[in-house]
Structure 1
Amino acid sequence: MVPASRQWVLMFAIAAISVLPILWMAMGSLRPRQELFQYISLEWHLFVPVKWTLQNYAAIFVQTSKPLGLYIKNTLLVAVTVTALSLWFNSMAAFSFAKLQFRFRKIILPLFMSALVIPGEVTMVPTYLLVHQLGWVDSYTALIVPSVISVFSVFMLIQFFAEIPRELLEAGRIDGASWFGIYSRIAIPSSVPAMITLGLITFLGQWDSYLWPLVVINDETKQMLQVAIATFSNLQNTEWGQILAADTVCSVPIIILFLVLQKYYVQSIVSSGIKG
């Protein structure tokens, strides 16, 4: 049994290892270009700038060629839309697989779940060809529609819906509720931690999306945040201060979102739906 004091020391050490790179990134965004790599040894100035400046933040928001505010708006639009639609469609699919009996269910479910072992890069080319045939290239539709359905999301929610007591659903049926009514009034409220956790994972995945937007979006006015940040680096010049400033800005919403919803995230890990 590890003493409580040692547990606190271990947790503090793990937290420090996790936080220090984020601190260096945030402090580096406040340094002038010539100072950014001047201090590389483990000392005070490695994390605290000698000369403080907001020039990096001014540059990423003011320049008209790469308006970071526009990229944040695009990413927020796509991430929120994908998260909302993903929770809706994937939860309905998971509820159907977990609680409804229908023909060929025992065949369809394993085939559907087998897609978990297929890397996304394998399906990227056929997905792009389909998107191109539909005329969706260079549109928000190309970013949203292919990302809505997720096998992992369905698999995760099946575990939670499967734990809902069958008697609770039968009581709803006796009261005259439809299956959709049971899904919306019983299953979803009973799985709030799982839904919030899945929402966080989905939102984060879209917020950090890089490869797919790089492939399907050529219009700079519709580009996503991570692709835009990558353009600060090129063969001639790399604006590391602006990259750190942009990374800091795009990290803030995720950190705030996690801090607000972390209790639901933890709850979904330590439990798996309702215990009968």
Structure 2
Amino acid sequence: MNRIYTCGRWMVMILIALVSVAPILWMVAGSFRPYQELFKYTSLDIHLIVPVEWTAKNFHQVIFNARDPFLRYIWNTLFVATVVTFLVLVINSMAAFAFAKLRFRLKSVVFALFMSAMIIPGEVTLVPNYLLMHDLGWLNSYKALIVPSMLSVFGIFMLRQFFAEVPNEMMEAARIDGASLPRTFLSIVLPAAVPALITLGLMTFLGNWDSYLWPLIVINDQKMQMIQVGISTFSSNEGTDWSKVLAANTISTAPILLLFLFLQRYYIQGITMSGIKG
């Protein structure tokens, strides 16, 4: 019975994995097809996934498109996502440390106000944020993409849960040894929350890599645009040539998949843990 149960569980897991991966496989396969072949095979056939005629022309036309500088879109997105991720980890880790370990007046009230911001949909803040960027003169600049994204209420909450589990005795011992508060934060608290930091970093990087609506609103210069907006513009310019659109999506998806493959162990650990144990 145990063997039957194990086999059944593995079959279900494999089926779920195939259903999840099938759209990605079709996207990658479609990016190597000529347009005439893309929708030719619609039934359950091997050529639904494996192209009959392989071609790399779609990638060449996407990457070296003079009208839509796709490599520029990738660089813009990589720059903004990297800077935002770094600032989020720095600022939110310090805020979470303050809420978890420091004592100050009205701490519970301030933290409750922070948490209440999580129930506000992002669409509600689009107009106020746009007006603020306009008043600051930051429209059509990287500052409009970076500064509003530096604070993550969920990130503060998640890191606070990890920092709260760090024994106070360790911090007290560091203070007795002469370590300053910043030194204690860098040497004791942060190393204990590495899985949470990597998880927050991955989520932040992915969110900015896939950002579409906010860059579409605040960026007008085509050369400064983000990759998702660039893909949509490429799609509208190219009409119904979905092979090039699939090639553009394959290029934009590859960095995220590689990043997740290298850091998935820490990501899963950060998601499943509610704090540091022991």
TM-score range (shorter-chain normalised) is over 0.9
Count residues in correspondence.
276
Q: Does 1:181 align with 2:180?
A: no
Q: SS in structure 2 opposite 1:98?
A: helix
Going from structure 1 to structure 2, the CA distance change for 1:236 and 1:71 (only over 3 Å counts) comes to closer
Q: Aligned residue for 2:114? A: 112
The structure 1 segments of at least 4 consecutive aligned residues displaced by more than 3 Å after TM superposition are none
Q: Aligned residue for 1:149? A: 151
Residue 116 of structure 1: how far off its partner (Å): 0.2
User: Paired residue for 1:28, among 27, 30, 55?
Assistant: 30
Q: Aligned residue for 2:67? A: 65
Q: RMSD of aligned C-alpha atoms?
A: 1.4
CA shift digits 1:180-201 (9 cap, x unpaired): 2111111111100110011000
Q: Aligned residue for 1:44? A: 46
Residue 236 of structure 1: how far off its partner (Å): 8.1
Q: Aligned residue for 1:238? A: 240
Q: Aligned partners of 2:182, 2:237: CA distance in 1, in Å? A: 55
Going from structure 1 to structure 2, the CA distance change for 1:74 and 1:165 (only over 3 Å counts) comes to same
Q: SS in structure 2 opposite 1:167?
A: helix
Q: Give the TM-score normalised by structure 2.
A: 0.96
Q: SS in structure 1 opposite 2:91?
A: helix
Letter in 2 for 1:14: I
Residue 235 of structure 1: how far off its partner (Å): 8.5
Residue 272 of structure 1: how far off its partner (Å): 3.0
User: Paired residue for 2:197, among 195, 204, 209?
Assistant: 195
Structure 1 residues 62-101: aligned runs within 5 Å: 62-101=64-103
User: Paired residue for 1:170, among 153, 169, 172?
Assistant: 172
Q: Aligned partners of 1:11, 1:57: CA distance in 2, in Å? A: 33
Which stretch shows the higher mean deviation, 95-104 or 228-237?
228-237
Letter in 2 for 1:177: A
Contact 1:163 1:274 in 2 (8 A): yes
Q: Aligned partners of 1:184, 1:201: CA distance in 2, in Å? A: 22
Unaligned stretches of 5+ in structure 1? Answer: none
Q: Aligned partners of 2:216, 2:133: CA distance in 1, in Å? A: 14
Give the % identical residues: 58
Q: Aligned partners of 2:238, 2:184: CA distance in 1, in Å? A: 60
Q: SS in structure 2 opposite 1:232?
A: helix
Q: Give the TM-score normalised by structure 1.
A: 0.97
Q: SS in structure 2 opposite 1:3?
A: helix
Letter in 2 for 1:61: I
Q: Aligned partners of 2:215, 2:250: CA distance in 1, in Å? A: 21
